[in-house]
Amino acid sequence: MVPMWRMLLLCAAGILIGPTIDASAESPAIIHVLVAYHSLSGNTERMAEAVAEGVRMVPHTQVSIRRVGNVTAEELFSADAIVLGSPVYWSNMAGEVKSFIDDWQFKFGVFPEFKLKDKVGAAFATGGQISSGKELTMLSILAAMLGNYMITVSGGGAFGASATTEGHSPGIDEQELLSARELGQRVADVAGAVKRGFALQEGLVRTSPN
């Protein structure tokens, strides 16, 4: 017969150890979001900062804001999500943003392993007029992401967040910044769901019988 003091000791150890194991098993992974952009006037930079604010609204996230020319291969590949922003130049993305996308292969070497596969991608744009090519710019960015097998999402608008910076809407107003925050928040939410889903799938594979 087990002495009473030993029974009590075993029970106490179970109470102390049990929650620690459960907490460790259920602790959520940190979601890393990269917000990259090109900006001359500062308008696209303001939108990038608002996107980052939206990311930070989601618990267990970290966000890095970089101009496209300063992004390293390590930052690109370690991110769970990439949000790319550009001003509109002649109804298309800025040349600096296109060069950055080209660098994914020619400088960083995404192929043949498709190193950006299953990362979440999104886009935002700023343009001078209401119909200045903002949707075309965002669609071009999203098309490049789809070509890399990324999971593209929208938010703040049908194709992403955008802002009109001239005419009757000089600069960027609070509604446009709100759309950028909504995009950042949705990207973080989806990236978290994707990461948890793959982690669960991997756990099921490891525990499944041979």
Q: Name the more confident of 12 and 62.
A: 62
Alpha carbon of residue 20 to chain centroid: 30
Which pLDDT band, with edges at 50, 70 and 90, does 198 fall under?
confident
CATH classification of 30-196 is 3.10.20.30, yes or no? no
Q: What was the pLDDT predicted at 145? A: 98
Q: What is the pLDDT of residue 59?
A: 96
Has residue 116 got a pLDDT over 80? yes
Angle at 153 between CA 82 and CA 25, to 5 degrees: 70
- Measured distance between the N- and C-terminal CA atoms of the chain, rounded to whole angstroms: 40
Which pLDDT band, with edges at 50, 70 and 90, does 4 fall under? low
pTM: 0.83
- pLDDT score for 210: 57
**How much of the chain, in percent, has pLDDT values that exceed 70?**
81
Higher pLDDT among residues 62 and 22, named by residue: 62
- Which residues have a Cβ under 8 Å from the Cβ of 82 and sit 6 or more positions away? 33, 34, 36, 76, 116, 119, 120, 121, 122, 145, 150
Q: What is the pLDDT of residue 11?
A: 47
Q: Is 190 left (phi over 0), alpha (psi -120 to 50) or beta?
A: alpha
The SS3 assignment for 14 reads helix
Spatial neighbors of 81 by CB under 8 A, at least 6 apart, are: 31, 32, 33, 34, 119, 120, 121, 122, 187, 188, 190, 191
* pLDDT for position 17: 39
Domain ranges of the chain: 30-196
